[in-house]
Amino acid sequence: MRILVTGGAGFIGSHLCDRLLAEGHQVVVVDNLITGNVENIAHLAGRDDFHFIRHDVSNFIFIPGELDAVLHLASPASPNPTSPFGYPQLPIQTLKVGALGTHNALGVARAHNARFLLASTSEVYGDPQVHPQREDYWGHVDPIGPRSVYDEAKRFAEAITMAYHRYHGLDTRIARIFNTYGPRMRLDDGRVVPNFICQALRGEPLTIYGDGSQTRSFCYVDDLVDGLYRLLTSDYHEPVNLGNPVEMTISELAAAINRLTRNQADVQILPDRRDKADPQRRRPDISRAKQVLDWQPTVDLEAGLSKTIADFRARL
Ligand code: NAD
Ligand code: UDP
């Protein structure tokens, strides 16, 4: 296949490009580098089967030649309001890429009669009142809250994707991605794994927002990319949760990272971010992915963190 990846210079997108190329496909990346980095795809430069176009997909996208699939990953993704790369600092860009960018990416797919995959998010469930989260849960999202620029853009993106499927007959997929981590995340991304690893490698205390009892379920990027690839090559149109169902508290994550880096500086408790709509609990129910895609994560936290720490150590 010849495959367009929007956001392909980002963290997940660049790993996805590696996988697609390894499977023998040709890849075209369109990315405006707003939160991504060309370093993530520098190793692919000069290949005949890889092409990079710097462009904002919230504007009309033109791709010459044939396309068999469009994978739409372009979007800021970090909720941290103190990082310049977090979506609270990029509110209009985030809303535009989720809405206009998804519309344009769907338009490219339709023009080329290509299949389409949307990178959606567990944030469509908001601060969930149902636990673990199944795909038939409609969510608990504040439409004007601090996370709304991301959550509502992704909810719109899912809605327009299903509209293109139902009304135009487009061959679409929706992946609801839960917290994913791994090599190539920005050092200054602001999400919890990059923050904690950078702090630990500098010998600083890890900054925990609140009492650390909030939970997340962390998926290693290779597992996630495998789920995305299986979804792409399936014929399933409803949303599918992709994430690791092993749930832990943020305090437990901090302890694991301090242990693996031998950081003695322990943790620093900062004010909680409940006022920033920080979800208290999050864990995917992956029954659907198991059944439809025969997929489940295989990399445990210690193995995934060790690879991520090695990558961060080399870049710091
Ligand atoms: P990332 O910031 O590393 O990658 C996003 C990429 O999209 C960047 O390269 C950025 O430059 C590009 N981009 C953003 N707006 C663009 C625009 N208007 N035009 C062109 N390119 C644009 O983040 P990531 O963690 O790799 O996330 C990738 C996708 O996966 C996002 O859609 C995100 O919402 C989704 N997702 C990620 C996670 C996670 O835990 N990493 C969880 C849920 C969903
Ligand atoms: N968090 C933290 N310290 C940090 C960064 C994040 O305690 O330095 C917490 C944050 O409050 C949230 C969890 O870690 O409860 C996960 O945050 P992240 O930004 O990674 O993404 P989210 O899952 O909230 O979208």
What does the mean pLDDT of the chain come to?
97
> Which tens digits make up the pLDDT trace of 101-112?
999 999 999 999
Question: Residue 210: inside a domain, yes or no?
Answer: no
> Which tens digits make up the pLDDT trace of 127-182?
999 999 999 999 999 999 999 999 999 999 999 999 999 999 999 999 999 999 99
pLDDT at residue 264 in the model: 97
How close is the Cα of 190 to the center of ligand 1, in Å? Answer: 14
Look up 220 and say whether it is catalytic: no
- Residue 80 belongs to domain spanning: 2-185+219-244+284-298
How close is the Cα of 191 to the center of ligand 2, in Å? Answer: 6
Question: Residue 209: inside a domain, yes or no?
Answer: no
Question: Residue 273: inside a domain, yes or no?
Answer: no
The catalytic position among 125, 150, 164, 181 is 150
- Over the range 61-71, which residues count as b (16 or more CB within 10 Å of their CB) and which as e? bebeeebebbb
* Percent of the chain whose predicted confidence (pLDDT) is above 70: 100
Indicate whether residue 307 lines ligand 2 (CB < 6 A).
no
Q: Whose CA is nearest to atom 44 of ligand 1?
A: 121
CA distances to 37, 105, 205 from 316, in Å: 15, 35, 17
Q: What is the CATH number of the domain that holds 50?
A: 3.40.50.720
Q: What is the 3-state secondary structure (H, E, C) of the chain?
A: CEEEEECCCCHHHHHHHHHHHHCCCEEEEEECCCCCCHHHHHHHCCCCCEEEEECCCCCCCCCCCCCCEEEECCCCCECCCCCCCEHHHCHHHHHHHHHHHHHHHHHHHHHHCCEEEEEEEHHHHECCCCCCECCCCCCECCCCCCCHHHHHHHHHHHHHHHHHHHHHCCCEEEEEECCEECCCCCCCCCCHHHHHHHHHHCCCCEEEECCCCCEEECEEHHHHHHHHHHHHCCCCCCEEEECCCCEEEHHHHHHHHHHHHCCCCCEEEECCCHHHCCCCCCCECCHHHHHHHCCCCCCCHHHHHHHHHHHHHHHC
CB 264 within 8 A of CB 203: yes
Indicate whether residue 172 lines ligand 2 (CB < 6 A).
no
Residue among 188, 216, 218 to mutate when testing ligand 2 (max atoms within 8 A of CB):
216
Ligand 2 atom, smallest distance to 214 CA = 15
CA distance 173 to 116: 6
Question: Residue 278: inside a domain, yes or no?
Answer: no
Cα atoms in the Cβ-side hemisphere of radius 13 Å centred on 113: 1
Question: Residue 143: inside a domain, yes or no?
Answer: yes
Please tell me the least confidently modeled range out of 55-59, 143-147, 242-246, 273-277.
273-277
Judge whether residue 275 has pLDDT over 80: no
Residue closest to 176 by CA, chosen among 186, 190, 189, 161: 161
Q: What is the pTM of this model?
A: 0.98
Domain count, the chain: 1
CA distance 287 to 234: 16
Question: What ligand is nearest to the CA atom of residue 83?
Answer: 2
Token readout for 25 is: 């496909």
CA distance 242 to 221: 11
How close is the Cα of 172 to the center of ligand 2, in Å? Answer: 31
Question: Residue 240: inside a domain, yes or no?
Answer: yes
CA distance 170 to 164: 6
Indicate whether residue 181 lines ligand 2 (CB < 6 A).
no
Question: What ligand is nearest to the CA atom of residue 121?
Answer: 1
Judge whether residue 192 has pLDDT over 80: yes
How close is the Cα of 154 to the center of ligand 2, in Å? Answer: 19
First to last CA, the chain: 37
Token readout for 156 is: 């719109």
Judge whether residue 237 has pLDDT over 80: yes
Question: Residue 128: inside a domain, yes or no?
Answer: yes
Question: Residue 311: inside a domain, yes or no?
Answer: no
| The residue count for the chain | 316
Question: What ligand is nearest to the CA atom of residue 280?
Answer: 2
Residue closest to 193 by CA, chosen among 75, 88, 311: 311
CA distance 260 to 193: 13
pLDDT at residue 273 in the model: 84
